[in-house]
Chain A
């Protein structure tokens, strides 16, 4: 495997409003001295899709999961995560509020063993929304936004586990956006889906980007270039390059990025 200089990088700051940014983020799993993520400093533009790409084990999930503190129990995270002028990586911050505003969808669909409706309303009720009208409204809107409404509107009381994989994943997205988050983190949301479901999901994401800031991890480079406006390339726990998606895929500044996007990596 070719050795690249991990300290050589090219990172831009997108113009316009920044929804979320990290400063020198470092992640160590468990008691490990070996950092799985080093000095990641990235800014994510508001109402745009940013893709995180890189080989397996390069730290994409590690980075993404740190953004809404999902790594709290398994890793130590150093550095700053700035959101609404607050460093949400501070232990003093209300982590539940963080996760309400920064939602996450996982690689494997993980609906609750409840009905479709309850999957969406469960967290809403916990957040204090009890008005039936409002709950019904949120179920409908979120399912429509996730492009699932037409397929399930007639059996909303059916168990979510009886849906297909692609439908389950869109339900998980609906469940997240029903909380009206600001930012949506998606970790390879399409990896368990067939091409048709994937295409649907991509359309959905583009639609969602009008109202949400989206950060998506993907292994699929076509997908990254199709949906995102910015792309970050990760390698061995380092951010090597971050720029507009076009630049990353057509005229990257770093050799490693070039090799990776042209398939000559490793």
Chain B
């Protein structure tokens, strides 16, 4: 075989492998959407789940997922922001900084089940929070922090140094420069990072099954008092999310229509995550354009 023939053959082979990967994705999406869409109905989205009979919906699970997402972001965003500001603006080039970076790397490489078990051990059991949305949100925070810190730090890092100097040279404090000049410029990147992490949070289940729990008590959507036990806003109640629901109906095997419920739920999950992804890109681009004066 001449080198040129080898070259052509190798290229064909690479193209073949790429084709398979694309087909896998198409198959996955097709399977989820085609087998899931028929099960999605208004009834499916708005009625509570039923464990032992067919025809249950995912109303509460869907709401729990969203509520948990919001709570998680409320807890993790400020922490991630503060840490990212430290890393990008205050950290010197020394052993302490590399220790922190190592710690964050370790956190990001921990399997989510380990993070979930830690949350279970510390919050559910030691701190007596029980299986609750709050425990779940804290566990998801741990799981979410490293990625969010990295994306915020990256966005801050991308702001040209001349902007920092411009602020400092006017006698502004570093803090004011960060808040008033750097953060607004980094905002598109930060928002994109948040939305992408929202997608990850939304689909996560392993960190939740022993923190937010696997049961979805009937919720009262008219009770706005977060301390009432049946209130949908109560952060201390157990809350099965959509992702956990898919896992549970499949492993418990008591729900007769487990397959169609999982198919419908998977489709809902994927559609929402796709929306997050597209939203992240659209918002990022749009804000970037706006900020650079349309140029």
Partner of B171, one of A108, A110, A179: A179
Within 8 A of A (CB), among B239-295: 291-295
Q: Are B166 and A172 in contact (CB under 8 A)?
A: yes
Partner of B168, one of A99, A108, A113, A179: A99
In the complex, A158→B294 CA distance in Å? 11
Q: Are B173 and A96 in contact (CB under 8 A)?
A: yes
Q: Are A113 and B185 in contact (CB under 8 A)?
A: yes
In this complex, what residue of A is CB-closest to B170? A123
Interface of chain B, main secondary structure: helix
In the complex, A156→B169 CA distance in Å? 23
A108-B162, A112-B163, A126-B176 in contact; A161/B293 too (CB < 8 A)?
A: yes
Q: Are B169 and A112 in contact (CB under 8 A)?
A: no
Name the B residues within 8 Å of A68 (CB-CB): 169
B134-151 CB mask vs A (1 if < 8 Å, else 0) is 000000000000000000
Q: Are A175 and B293 in contact (CB under 8 A)?
A: no
Within 8 A of A (CB), among B157-186: 160, 162-163, 165-173, 176, 180-181, 184-185
Name the B residues within 8 Å of A110 (CB-CB): 160, 162-163, 165-166
In the complex, A68→B168 CA distance in Å? 10
Q: Are A159 and B168 in contact (CB under 8 A)?
A: no
**A151 interface contact, C-beta 8 A:** no
Name the A residues within 8 Å of B167 (CB-CB): 112, 123
In the complex, A50→B169 CA distance in Å? 20
A97-B171, A110-B162 in contact; A162/B295 too (CB < 8 A)?
A: yes
Q: Hey, which bits of chain A sit against chain B, CB under 8 A?
A: 68, 70, 96-100, 103-104, 106, 108, 110-114, 122-123, 126-127, 158-159, 161-162, 172, 175-176, 179
Q: Hey, which bits of chain B sit against chain A, CB under 8 A?
A: 160, 162-163, 165-173, 176, 180-181, 184-185, 291-295
